[in-house]
Structure 1
Amino acid sequence: MPPADVLDLDRAVLPGWDGREGACVRLGVAAMGTRFELLLGGEDPIRLRGAGEAAIDEILRWHAMLSCFDKGSEIARVNEAAAQSPVRVGPELMRLLLACQRAWEDSHGAFDISVGPLLHAWGLREPPLSLDEARARTGMHQVELDATAGTVRFARQGVRLDLGGVGKGAALDSVALLLREAGVTRAFVHGGTSSVLAIGTPPDQPAWRVRLPSPPGLDLPPMDVDLRNVSLSVSAPSGRLSRDGRAHVIDPRRGGPVEGSHAACVVAPSGVEAEIGSTAMLVLGYRPRLSPTCRTFMAGPAAWKVEGEDDADLGST
């Protein structure tokens, strides 16, 4: 999962927004190992709060579905039993797993939700596991998804799925749908500052603006990124460290921590694509296969490498 506090959000929330431009409702919740915060704007504060509380319930629902630490979660049930027989999952989880499988293929293994055993091998999950055994258990070629039957099966014992690299994006996509259906046209939602949903714009501003700071070890100027009706994800090899003190982001192809990359950011129409893209780009060191409208930002030794559309608006209006 990308580390927290990787974005400077001070410029995203307009300092003068005190109700003179309509109601402003702020809510927050702890989930998925971080803190989600919601800023909603509109005319009716009661309606906004109701939409915000429903959005929080949606975030918690995704947390309960994807948590590897809750034995009752849907993904924990898959990890426990899918090596013995096919496990039926709900349509939302199946759609997410299919998207992750396509991403694994498109990224040539750089994005891989079967990375669970490697997280144990590098001390990021308990109990510990030998690196050789973890490598043998990793790879989406060992995960059989039957979209028609709605089932998941593992080809061998010990395969473990971990959706920490995409779960926040999936939750934000559901939140976006819920807020729009509730009539919310102005919202800024983030999970741990590394995963962002932007709907509409702040009062009297053309877009929400966030700032990518220079990664540790580099001396780059900050990069301002404008967002409107899009999602953003940042991945960086910092935050929690593996047992040998190296980066917490694992390169599933090598079976070890990512080396050489400093930070990768993707702005995409959906949170899932942004999360998948930023993780794959950090591992690969270059822009992966993405929708043509996606914008990408890669921290290099001397400058930010920016690719994609200049328009801040990639999503629905």
Structure 2
Amino acid sequence: MPETKYMTTFIFALMLLMGTTLFLPARSLATQEYVFTGQTMGTTYSIKLISAKPLSKSLWQEKIDLRLKQVNACLSMYQKESELSRFNAAPEDQIFRVSADFYQVLEQCSRLHTLTSGAWDGTVKPLVDLWGFGTKGRRDKPPKPAEIKTALKSIGFNKLKIGDHNLTKTMPGITLDLGSIAKGYGVDEIARLIREGGIDNYLVEIGGELAAAGENKHRTAWIVGITNPEKGFLNSGLYKEIRLDNKAIATSGNYRNYFEKNGHTYSHIISPKTGYPVENGVVSASVISDTCTWADGLATALMVMDVHQALALINSLENTECLIIRQEGRKRTALRSSGFKFINKSG
């Protein structure tokens, strides 16, 4: 009898141990970090997936690269056969049928243009090219006022007619430049791909634009840095760090892409209204929002807008925050929307 009691106790203890193991919370299971890197959209990408179950790294690499290739084939200005390039080459009044990707981006573009009163305008390509920051090569001096005046005639997102998955130019010379939103859309699409694959913890980065969800391998919220906006440095360090909790962040700045002439600096951030590089003292604008597409476009718009109007706009939007850095001589000022928080509270 004692032997039978011992065996019963042993079996019960074993069942209890097994049961405890089976019903442990998912977050206590061992997790592994999978890192994917590569090139896309003229820049680099870095993606981290955190999973408690084994993943096929080769399969995920293939899925990521394929989706990025599809997005690039849609929105690239540098691929002659991309959907965007084919639209730019299309004549006036021709109804151009667009893909689902293109249409989703166009809807965001239209909303951005209206919300920012034209500060974001996807038709600035003639001006960007004229100033030497586009597809026609660099230049080392400003264009002539008459050239700028001519280019301005081909600017205006409202000169496009957007229908049900179609797009039409209402006047000749209209071209699209979606470089200020394409990377953000790429980030969102990879994040969607990951979620559909059943993975809840990830960090996606393309050319500095990011989206994060869940937790990192240390089971804490993702921490990302905002670049220090220093001219002339490829790696100027971090300005501040923030927690990115199921959000996206995008930053636009004028401290890397510019040229100087006769002591004057001309940046690639061109006002669609004046035709000249913006001179409002803003050197960097970062936006946190639910999607990277939206954050990417808004960050560009904030570079163009009056800083006080920009802050007022962001404070009026739900689930959206911003950090705007201004430079006046050697003095640098950081302006934040009401809910923007640094990890270092002294910032």
Q: Same fold (TM over 0.5)?
A: yes
Letter of the aligned partner of 2:254 in structure 1?
A: P
Structure 1 stretches of 5 or more lacking a match?
A: 1-19, 313-317
Q: Distance in 1 between matches of 2:69 and 2:228?
A: 32
Please list, as runs of the form range in 1=range in 2, the aligned pairs for 1:1-317 lying within 5 A after superposition.
Answer: 21-47=30-56, 49-127=58-136, 130-147=147-164, 150-193=165-208, 195-216=209-230, 222-241=239-258, 246-259=266-279, 260-284=281-305, 285=307, 286-287=310-311, 288-289=313-314, 291-300=317-326, 301-309=331-339
Q: Distance in 1 between matches of 2:301 and 2:75?
A: 20
Q: Distance in 1 between matches of 2:203 and 2:65?
A: 13
Q: Distance in 1 between matches of 2:189 and 2:318?
A: 23
Could you tell which deviates more after superposition, 42-51 or 267-276? Answer: 42-51
Match for residue 6 of structure 2? none
Q: Distance in 2 between matches of 1:83 and 1:225?
A: 46
SS of structure 2 residue aligned to 1:216 = coil
Classify 1:85/1:242 alpha carbon distance in 2 versus 1 (closer, same or farther; 3 Å). farther
Letter of the aligned partner of 2:276 in structure 1?
A: G
Q: Distance in 2 between matches of 1:103 and 1:95?
A: 13
Classify 1:257/1:181 alpha carbon distance in 2 versus 1 (closer, same or farther; 3 Å). same
Contact in 1 for aligned 2:93/2:170 (Cα 8 Å): no
- Taking only aligned residues, the RMSD between alpha carbons, in angstroms, comes to 2.6
Classify 1:309/1:51 alpha carbon distance in 2 versus 1 (closer, same or farther; 3 Å). farther
Contact in 2 for aligned 1:238/1:248 (Cα 8 Å): no
Contact in 1 for aligned 2:74/2:101 (Cα 8 Å): no
Q: Distance in 1 between matches of 2:277 and 2:341?
A: 34
Contact in 2 for aligned 1:241/1:248 (Cα 8 Å): yes
Give runs of ≥4 in structure 1 deviating > 6 Å.
Answer: none
Letter of the aligned partner of 1:22 in structure 2?
A: T
Q: Distance in 2 between matches of 1:45 and 1:192?
A: 28
How far off is 1:40 after superposition?
A: 1.3
Contact in 2 for aligned 1:233/1:271 (Cα 8 Å): yes
SS of structure 2 residue aligned to 1:187 = strand
Contact in 2 for aligned 1:230/1:267 (Cα 8 Å): yes
1:36-74: per-residue Cα shift (whole Å, max 9, x none)? Answer: 111111123434553343122211211111111212111
SS of structure 2 residue aligned to 1:93 = helix
What is the TM-score when the length of structure 1 is the normalising length? 0.83
1:221-263: per-residue Cα shift (whole Å, max 9, x none)? Answer: 9322110211110000122225855211222122121222111
Q: Distance in 1 between matches of 2:212 and 2:119?
A: 27
Q: Distance in 2 between matches of 1:214 and 1:238?
A: 10
Structure number, greater radius of gyration: 2
Q: Distance in 1 between matches of 2:287 and 2:90?
A: 34
Match for residue 20 of structure 2? none
Q: Distance in 2 between matches of 1:197 and 1:82?
A: 37
Contact in 2 for aligned 1:110/1:252 (Cα 8 Å): yes
Determine what percentage of the aligned residue pairs are the same residue.
24
Letter of the aligned partner of 1:228 in structure 2?
A: D
Could you tell which deviates more after superposition, 161-170 or 294-303? Answer: 294-303
1:178-234: per-residue Cα shift (whole Å, max 9, x none)? Answer: 1011011221111122x00112111335311122243227xxx93221102111100
Number of matched pairs: 289
Contact in 1 for aligned 2:121/2:156 (Cα 8 Å): yes
Classify 1:243/1:189 alpha carbon distance in 2 versus 1 (closer, same or farther; 3 Å). same
Q: Distance in 2 between matches of 1:58 and 1:38?
A: 13
SS of structure 2 residue aligned to 1:97 = helix
Contact in 1 for aligned 2:50/2:199 (Cα 8 Å): yes
Q: Distance in 2 between matches of 1:243 and 1:78?
A: 33
Letter of the aligned partner of 2:199 in structure 1?
A: V
Match for residue 5 of structure 1? none
Structure 2 stretches of 5 or more lacking a match?
A: 1-28, 138-142, 232-237, 343-347
How far off is 1:304 after superposition?
A: 2.1
How far off is 1:132 after superposition?
A: 1.9
Match for residue 12 of structure 1? none
Could you tell which deviates more after superposition, 21-30 or 181-190? Answer: 21-30
